[in-house]
Amino acid sequence: MKIIVNLDVMLARRKMKLKDLAAAIAISEQNVSLIKTGKVKGIRFETLAKICEVLDCQPGDILEFSPSAE
């Protein structure tokens, strides 16, 4: 995939666990885990906005484009 999800990096920087983020944005841990591992085909802007609000970051801190990634 050419889009790399760096959610795990942001969680580590904020010293937050996946389950805490899931609770804060009212989404199941399983769905947040799927986002974190890049196993989703899309993410709602509303969900991305909630993640950015909780982690105090920008969407570019979480999502990265890599033309060489497969």
6-65 pLDDT, tens digit each: 999 999 999 999 999 999 999 999 999 999 998 999 999 999 999 999 999 999 999 999
pTM exceeding the 0.95 threshold for the entire prediction: no
Contact between 4 and 55 (Cβ < 8 Å): no
Contact between 28 and 22 (Cβ < 8 Å): yes
SS3 per residue for 7-37: HHHHHHHCCCCHHHHHHHHCCCHHHHHHHHC
